[in-house]
A and B are shown apart, each in its own frame.
Chain A
Amino acid sequence: MPAEHAVEVLATGPLTLVQDAGRPGFAHLGVTGSGAADQGAYRAANRLVGNASGAAVLESVLGGIALRARGALLVAVTGASAEVVVERGGGRAAVEHPVGCSFTLGDGDVVRVGTPSAGLRTVLAVRGGFAVPPTLGSRSSDVLSGLGPAPLRAGEVLPVGDAAGEWPEATLLPSAIGWRPGWMLAVTPGPRAELAGDAGWPRLLATEWTVSPASNRVGVRLVGPPSSAEPGREALTLPSEGMVVGAVQLPPSGEPVVFLRDHPVTGGYPVIAVLTPEAVDVAAQLRPGDAVGFEAVGG
């Protein structure tokens, strides 16, 4: 794409961040993997616009983003189910597109993403990717350490890059996530499941948890009913050890934390379970107040 292609940020919603495939290879220096929270939605968005893998996109929490095109652009929105509206010719005509398809914007056209009816995060990709400066080889915004681009602000202009590959073969990619009330997260037992006591693992699977508002890209905090027989609390910490995305930590409160992409590199609470990669994408779409359970899978 020529250098003059860009988008002007008109509105950001509650939080819009630049994200890409992530920042691997620096965990030994204390830098987490970061990257798009819902990697399935991220890959689908880039595929819909024919981007090379690793191209940077915009990840919005609860929609509310509005962008104006500078030059003609090919755009796709994936992730949470939201209304996507394109205003053409200075707002004289509006066209609605479903999430999970690609569409074009002419110079001056505006795209608006509404508040999702299900799910939390939408991904917006543009052919060529967003060419903000990378940090340690990635354009991901890491909310834990503050590395990478700052959250988007209205008035900002984001240059479109040249990360385009072949022209896309698909114009519609339905989400791999089945949107439904009562989410289930697929897990395998974690390396410290035994520290949660005999009742810990069954309790994790048997409880209907609720997503706490104190959740972000670092982790999803869950609250549950008070537990009757808690294991000895003093046993529930150990020397800090390496953490992975999808790790389910069980702090002394008995309320699990599901680590997302900006998780700390190490942690001192026992990891009772680990989500499958697909379940990590589902966890990234949980909204505060959602009910969620865990189901054990082989592995």
Chain B
Amino acid sequence: MTGPGQTPESPPRLQLRALGGSALLAEVPDARSALTLYSRLRAQPSASPALDGVIDVVPAERTVLVTFDAARTDAARVRRGLEEAATAPVAPVAGAGQRRVEIPVTYDGPDLDDVARTLGLTVGELIALHTATRWTAAFIGFAPGFAYLMGDDEGRLALPRRATPRSAVPAGSVALAAGYCGVYPRESPGGWHLIGHTDAALWDSRRDDPALIAPGTVVGFVDAG
């Protein structure tokens, strides 16, 4: 949250590239900047008429994709809306509506011991660090509801992907890789290190808001024993 006494985040540097006639790709320095721009675009869409006709806003690792209805608006107008959002002096209520979720985890993953060893930690220390870390969903990729969670752990839990991906990772698996934490919303192939599992429903298409974790959601993990 940006509040009194806090410095507003500096606006991301924007380079825009066209993807055909109804999408623009904004390039930003990193995932945090992408999330900031995404949050600004999503926070108050009605506040910027230049963003009328925008269909989807998709944050990723170093980009934000904006797709629009070319029958209702055009690239020049959306470009203006993006630049306004990127250079707004204060993030418009970014974080005010920020969702926070707690996810109970049973730390019993098949890679738990290996991960602890690789990071130079005991299993107890690994669990303590994982539960003490404040995670923020940067973007969704790979499958509906699979969030890439950035930690404030200063890279102490950063690992590369596994050398050999698994053909089937069970739903609810809590995993680390590529500097992120993730929770598999359903069974799928996967190359991340599995440290535990949760029974939390990450995805439910019957809900109006189907994803438990959306970009910007702050996630805390709790040791369920």
Contacts and interface: CB of A to CB of B under 8 A. Distances in A.
Contacts of B146: 30
A268 B20 CA distance: 18
B20 A27 contact: no
Q: Which of B19, B62, B143 has the most CB of A within 10 A?
A: B19
21 contacts: A28-B139, A29-B140, A29-B214, A30-B145, A30-B146, A31-B144, A135-B205, A190-B19, A191-B18, A241-B61, A241-B62, A242-B64, A243-B65, A244-B22, A247-B20, A265-B140, A266-B139, A266-B142, A274-B20, A276-B20, A276-B21
A28 B57 contact: yes
Contact of A29 (B63, B67, B144): B144
Interface residues of B, number: 35
Interface of B: 17-23, 25, 38, 42, 55-65, 67, 139-146, 205, 210-211, 214-215
Contact of A191 (B19, B62, B67, B141): B19
Nearest to B23: A244
Interface of A: 24-31, 33, 135-136, 145, 147, 188, 190-191, 239-244, 246-247, 265-266, 271, 274-277, 299
Nearest to A27: B56
Contacts of A239: 60-63
Contacts of A276: 20-21
Contact of A28 (B21, B23, B38): B38
Contacts of A188: 18, 20-21
A147 B205 CA distance: 8
Contacts, number: 105
Contacts of B210: 26, 29, 31, 136
A29 B18 CA distance: 22
The secondary structure that dominates the A interface is loop
B65 A30 contact: no
Given A25-B56, A239-B62, A244 B38 contact: no
A136 to B, nearest CB: 6
B211 A29 contact: yes
Contacts of B57: 27-28
A240 B59 CA distance: 10
Contacts of B140: 28-30, 265
Given A30-B140, A247-B19, A265-B140, A24 B56 contact: yes
A299 B20 contact: yes
A188 B18 CA distance: 9
A250 to B, nearest CB: 14
Given A26-B56, A242-B58, 19 more contacts: A26-B144, A26-B210, A27-B67, A28-B139, A29-B145, A29-B214, A31-B210, A188-B18, A239-B61, A240-B60, A240-B141, A241-B25, A241-B61, A241-B65, A247-B19, A265-B140, A266-B139, A274-B19, A299-B20
B142 A30 contact: yes
B24 to A, nearest CB: 9
Contacts of B143: 30, 145
B65 A244 contact: yes
A190 B21 CA distance: 11
Contact of B56 (A28, A190, A241, A299): A28
A266 B141 contact: yes
Contacts of A299: 20-21
**The 7 nearest A-B residue pairs measured at CB:** A242-B65, A274-B20, A191-B17, A239-B61, A242-B58, A27-B56, A30-B140
Contacts of B61: 239-241
A274 B17 CA distance: 12
Given A29-B140, A30-B146, A241-B65, A266 B60 contact: yes
